[in-house]
């Protein structure tokens, strides 16, 4: 298998790792792509970015975490 961040994954296609990547594991090689998009534009003064591991995505919330920021961009 392949090791990633201390966890052993089996050879073959891995649909989702614990760290939100899709990978292909073969002997001597592991290639991965992220399942999430990075946040590139948001109100840094009033908002913060929090990674949601359950959804494999970033949430942009106001510094008061009960409120969501509505204007941001992802890539």
| pLDDT tens readout for residues 31-75 | 999 999 888 888 888 888 889 999 999 888 888 767 778 666 776
pLDDT of residue 68: 72
CATH 2.20.25.590 residue ranges in the chain?
39-74
Candidates 3.40.605.10, 2.20.25.590, 3.30.1490.100, 3.40.50.720; CATH matching 39-74:
2.20.25.590
pLDDT of residue 66: 73
CA distances to 36, 62, 63 from 23, rounded to whole Å, are: 13, 33, 34
pLDDT of residue 26: 94
Structural contact between residues 10 and 4, judged by C-beta atoms closer than 8 angstroms: no
pLDDT of residue 61: 87
pLDDT of residue 37: 87
């Amino acid at each position: 298998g392949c090791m990633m961040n201390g966890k052993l994954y089996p050879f073959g296609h891995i649909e989702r790792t614990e760290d939100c990547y899709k990978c292909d594991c073969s002997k001597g090689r592991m290639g991965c792509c992220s399942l999430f998009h990075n946040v590139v534009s948001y109100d840094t003064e009033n908002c913060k970015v929090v990674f949601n591991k359950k959804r494999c995505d970033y949430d942009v919330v106001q510094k008061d975490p009960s409120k969501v920021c509505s204007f941001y961009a992802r890539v």
